[in-house]
Amino acid sequence: PFDVLVVGGGPAGAAAAVYAARKGIRTGIAAERFGGQVLDTMAIENFISVPHTEGPKMAAALEQHVKDYDVEIMNLQTATKLIPGTDGFTRVELASGATLSARTVILSTGARWRQMGVPGEAEYRNKGVAYCPHCDGPLFKGKRVAVIGGGNSGVEAAIDLAGIVAHVTLVEFDGKLRADAVLQAKLRSLPNVTILVSAQSTEVHGDGSKVTGLSYKNRVTGEAHRIDLEGIFVQIGLVPNTEWLKGTVALSPRGEIEVDAAGRTSLPGVFAAGDATTVPYKQIIIAMGEGAKAALSAFDHLIRSVPA
């Protein structure tokens, strides 16, 4: 059995594995896809002290840093079930049929952005279609963008982007915005923002290498429209990869793993970190810090428990 078993190999999981291994305890990491969301990222310019890097490069560096230590890496392994134990061991079932057993488990299975599912979206991902305003906003300085989604995250993104870009069109499917009133008031006060409601995005247009426009349908009149622009921020939800945990560890109504300030979950010996948790602001630097914290909490748990 492992002393620490990390489930998920993104920034949070990699940081947790390195911190655990540095304590000289038996550490394993199981990941569906080592690198996580970082693998799907182009430019990363907000990882402090590294002014610019690329996703695949950072993902390779994450894996290499973990490999520098005595960590058992189980890549391409999907966890399907968490089984809390009464014997001081928590078990994790894998899709392969294997069961891993560990004195502490760190859950770091991350999240995924909900997609619009329209033609052109996948083709122009990272070529104008973006999901993270904190990450990619500055790339659109002085340009025209749309934000898809009028919930809190969409309206926050539109307010944030309006300070950087030339113009923002907020596109909401419903007949009205769903964001908090204070955010809506702020948005409406901005001179370079257009708000469209009852608007269904239908297609992302591009010139083969980058986004050039967005088509939408007015859901009331049925009329089709096209906006010329350079960027589209999709803000219709970040979904935590926690479906497999339902009924075990406590999840928030949005499916995020509830953690306290030390990264502890509702189950003793089970910790969590990164985008899969209730910790706000889903960013690489935050996920790594949380992963380090969860590993230190797991170590603290181990030195306080009677050896099994």
Binding residues: 3-18, 144-158, 265-275
Largest CA distance in the chain: 69
- Closest to ligand FAD by CB, 101 vs 283, is 283
Of 83-91, 162-170, 219-227, 284-292, the window that binds ligand FAD (rule: CB under 6 A) is 284-292
Binding-site member from 244, 251, 279, 293 for ligand FAD (CB under 6 A):
244
Binding-site member from 6, 21, 25, 38 for ligand FAD (CB under 6 A):
38
Least CB distance to ligand FAD at residue 221 (A) = 34
Gap between the Cα atoms of 121 and 106, Å rounded: 33
Least CB distance to ligand FAD at residue 194 (A) = 25
Binding-site member from 11, 28, 133, 263 for ligand FAD (CB under 6 A):
11
Beta bridge partners of 75: 31
Contacts with ligand FAD, 58-97, as mask; x by CB under 6 A:
--------------------xx------------------
Gap between the Cα atoms of 13 and 138, Å rounded: 28
Residue nearest to ligand FAD (CB): 110
Q: Is 285 in the site for ligand FAD (CB under 6 A)?
A: yes
190: phi > 0 → left, psi -120 to 50 → alpha, else beta; which?
beta
- Using CB atoms within 10 A of its CB, is residue 286 exposed (0-12), middle (13-18) or buried (19+)? middle
Q: Is 202 in the site for ligand FAD (CB under 6 A)?
A: no
Least CB distance to ligand FAD at residue 288 (A) = 8
Of 4-12, 99-107, 165-173, 179-187, the window that binds ligand FAD (rule: CB under 6 A) is 4-12
Q: Is 235 in the site for ligand FAD (CB under 6 A)?
A: no
Q: How many residues bind ligand FAD (CB under 6 A)?
A: 39
Q: Is 115 in the site for ligand FAD (CB under 6 A)?
A: no
Binding-site member from 27, 41, 90, 248 for ligand FAD (CB under 6 A):
41
Q: Is 28 in the site for ligand FAD (CB under 6 A)?
A: no
The amino acid sitting at 144 is R
Gap between the Cα atoms of 90 and 102, Å rounded: 5
Q: Which residue has the tokens 């181990």?
A: 302
Interacting residues with ligand FAD (CB under 6 A): 7-13, 30-34, 36-38, 40-41, 44, 46, 78-79, 108-111, 113, 131-132, 135, 241, 244, 274-276, 282-285, 287
